[in-house]
Amino acid sequence: MMSLKSFLYSRIAAFGHAFRGWWYVLKTQHNAWIHLVFATAVVLVGLWVELKPFDWAVIVLTIAMVFTAEFINTAIEAVVDLASPVHHPLAKVGKDVGAGAVLVAALAGIVIGLLIIGPPLWARLVPLFTGN
């Protein structure tokens, strides 16, 4: 039976692995930085337009979906490179499908962001430009 101390150390180690993976993606994947910039902008605009809690929940889940897709795509690319160091048509399919998943998530994120943040942002911006 695992002791409490051993259990806690293994959980701390698991978090360490997860954070190393997160850092690897941020260090090596330029698109992850693009996602981070847009996610930060969405959060700042969401604070400015005072989103309601349910809207925040959808925004947070959407941001998580995009980053999760990027992380899984990076993992797929690493495993494909390991399994097939030479170019192979199926390796290309695996990488392309992973990238396609990130694209789907990012496009869905844009639509969700526009649907949730668009109306209150528009309501804040119109008076600035019309003087009302």
| Cβ burial 59-88 (10 Å sphere, 16+ → b, else e) | beebbebbbebbbebbebbeebeeeeeeee
- Delineate the domains of the chain, giving CATH numbers in brackets: 29-130 (1.10.287.3610)
Please tell me which residue in 46, 70, 80, 112 is annotated as part of the active site: 70
Q: Could you read off the pLDDT of 48-70 as tens digits, one per residue?
A: 999 999 999 999 999 999 999 99
Mean pLDDT of the chain: 94
pLDDT band, residue 130 (cuts 50/70/90): confident
**Six token digits for residue 119:** 């109306």
CB 51 within 8 A of CB 117: yes
Q: Residue 121: pLDDT above 70?
A: yes
Q: Could you read off the pLDDT of 95-104 as tens digits, one per residue?
A: 999 999 999 9
77 carries an active-site annotation: no
- pLDDT of 132 reads 67
17-24 LR contacts (CB < 8 Å, sep 24+): 21/71, 21/75, 22/71, 24/74
